[in-house]
Amino acid sequence: MTQKAIEIKLNNGLEARPVAVLVQVASKYDSSVYIQVGDKKVNAKSIMGMMSLGLINGERITVTANGSDEQSAVEDIEKFLSGNSVA
């Protein structure tokens, strides 16, 4: 299992389009990928789950991945949330 705390650095936070892109990034991987904020944890491959978090710029989240490509999944999600497109 790979876990990393990440600060969101997207000007408009995670509105509909960035959430859709994040779900696409997470879905490229075989590993299970979860995003956690406080006590709420959702599947990063679920657009409805991700929208329910209402993430904003500057917010700190924890990304957890478990599987054969977990390290790459966490790295790509970190790149995307840091404002560096990977999709």
Dump pLDDT digits (tens) for 2-42.
Answer: 999 999 999 888 889 999 999 999 999 999 999 999 999 99
pLDDT tens-place string over residues 7-17: 999 988 888 99
CB–CB of 52/16 below 8 Å?
no
Does the global pTM surpass 0.75?
yes
Tell me the residue ranges of DSSP E strands in the chain. 2-7, 32-37, 40-43, 60-66
**Could you tell me which CATH number the domain at 2-81 has?**
3.30.1340.10
Mean pLDDT of the chain: 94
Long-range contacts of 37-44 (CB under 8 A, 24+ apart): 37/61, 37/62, 44/77
Rounded distance, CA 4 to CA 78, Å?
9
